A and B are shown apart, each in its own frame.
Chain A
């Protein structure tokens, strides 16, 4: 069990990790990549004349692993709260913690399916946990081609046996953990032209002469973003930003947020600053909630 799992390994997440790690907490940083990798040169970070984003990240990672923090290059698919513990499900494994710091960066764009937004709530949903019940014994599809699609299809099996994964022209890309699960589902690799229906979605259209009838579709973005993760945790967002209090805590107890998810001015410096604040608030939370093993030993 980790004291804290930090989701996202850009400057905000690593900054939070540095504060927790230096204070001796057991910390995991997990995620795939960072926007900073794309910065050819950073010239506005105080104290450093010029450095590439990749090099700045490499130094930062070395600095946090040096104080005992673990870093894993894995895609986070789901975070859920059970018995006052958090479970973070990735494409490789599952990890538990006492609290969570979200540092996922700006919302990543996922491929749009034509007409998907038009039918939200009308046989299209982004949340099996919320709306799966309405598709009991129906013919349903999950649109997606990653482990996230398999996770959603598994949840749908609780309601119906008739679940197909539609990859929209892509090949399924899943880790070993999901290969066996995938055998339980039909996979359709055809490219989707658009979704069709009158009041409600009724068909997936592949081409003018090629369409299938469907009762419901769940969309599973290949890289789950904050909206997807918040459907499991219930984290409030406003204008594409996560809502936090003065301690960087979200509306969900023990879940903090920092970096581009909360900042209007998206810079390395502001990410590092808010990461430090979130890390510090998390330490205070662990101590005040009597969840800190270090304090218990005193």
Chain B
């Protein structure tokens, strides 16, 4: 499972999302879009909008910290394993 999170440093939901994955022991790649312009553009392209966090789980794009959507994708992955 490949997880990428696009964040800004002042966004509390980005922090909550990271804490969620940390608590489950799930690894992810974080891109701070305020530091990385290329990733900022990539995020807008992937999600079609400019709100953070954007979470990419194996190509499935989740906008905001949508715990239910994240859990659904993670459960599917665990079941497939």
Contacts and interface: CB of A to CB of B under 8 A. Distances in A.
Given A133-B34, A236-B67, A251-B16, A127 B11 contact: yes
Contact of A130 (B10, B47, B48, B49): B10
Contacts of A194: none
A132 B11 CA distance: 10
Interface residues of B, number: 20
Nearest to A134: B50
Contact of A233 (B11, B12, B67): B12
A94 interface: no
Interface stretch (A53-61, A84-92, A102-110, A116-124): A116-124
Given A131-B51, A133-B33, A121 B15 contact: no
A145 interface: no
A129 interface: yes
Interface string B19-63: 000000000000001100000100000011111100000000001
B16 A123 contact: no
Given A121-B51, A122-B50, A123-B50, A130 B13 contact: yes
Nearest to B12: A234
The residue among A125, A131, A134, A233 with the most chain B CB atoms within 10 A of its own CB is A134
Contacts of A123: 50
B12 A130 contact: yes
B50 A129 contact: no
A130 B51 contact: yes
B50 to A, nearest CB: 4
A231 interface: yes
A232 B49 contact: no
A134 B13 CA distance: 16
Contacts of B50: 121-123, 125, 131, 134, 216
Contacts, number: 52
Nearest to B17: A234
Contacts of A233: 12
A232 B12 contact: yes
Given A121-B50, A121-B51, A234 B34 contact: no
Contacts of A251: 16
A174 B11 CA distance: 27
Contact of A122 (B13, B14, B33, B49): B49
B30 to A, nearest CB: 15
Contacts of B12: 129-130, 231-234
A134 B37 CA distance: 10
A130 B50 CA distance: 10
Given A133-B33, A251-B16, A121 B49 contact: yes
B15 A234 contact: yes
The residue among B10, B34, B65 with the most chain A CB atoms within 10 A of its own CB is B10
Contacts of A236: 16, 65, 67
Contact of B8 (A133, A216, A232): A133
Given A234-B16, A236-B67, A251-B16, A129 B49 contact: no
The residue among A129, A131, A133 with the most chain B CB atoms within 10 A of its own CB is A133
Nearest to B47: A121
B52 A130 contact: yes
Contacts of A125: 50-51
Contacts of B16: 234, 236, 251
Given A120-B51, A233-B12, 12 more contacts: A120-B49, A121-B51, A122-B48, A130-B10, A130-B12, A131-B8, A131-B11, A131-B50, A131-B51, A199-B48, A216-B50, A234-B16
